[in-house]
Amino acid sequence: MPTDLIFLVGRILLGGAFFVAGLRNFVNRERLITLMESRKVPNARPVTLAGFAVQTLCGLLMMIGVLTPWAALGQAVFLIAATLIVHPYWTFPKAEQGPHIGATLINTGLVGGFLILAAVTF
């Protein structure tokens, strides 16, 4: 398979996953805003909605190949912030840390993927 095709499919899959996740988060916005409020995020409603917008828009831009490095960096920043807010595993009791550690590891890998995408498209 040619490198260009592999890159295209990878970009569509990576961006598409976050595009769909952003849309799903928007549908579940009240539950997620309540979660952000419980985590003491200042201005939880606008911050959470802005996060969904970044997630959705950056995912779409990566899928269509427009402003790809900036979209990848935006997605990396979003994911770092989301991970620190939603999955700070060290703040949970030992028995509850497992899923949060797993989510942190997955998100760390995704941030690495976004940084690679940004690097190869600048």
Q: Binning pLDDT at 50, 70 and 90, where does residue 1 land?
A: low
Percent of the chain with pLDDT over 90: 99
Residue-wise pLDDT for 60-88, tens only, equals: 999 999 999 999 999 999 999 999 999 99
SS3 55: helix
pTM for this structure? 0.92
The structural domains of the chain, with segments of one domain joined by +, span: 3-121
d(CA 90, CA 47): 23
Residue-wise pLDDT for 24-70, tens only, equals: 999 999 999 999 999 999 999 999 999 999 999 999 999 999 999 99
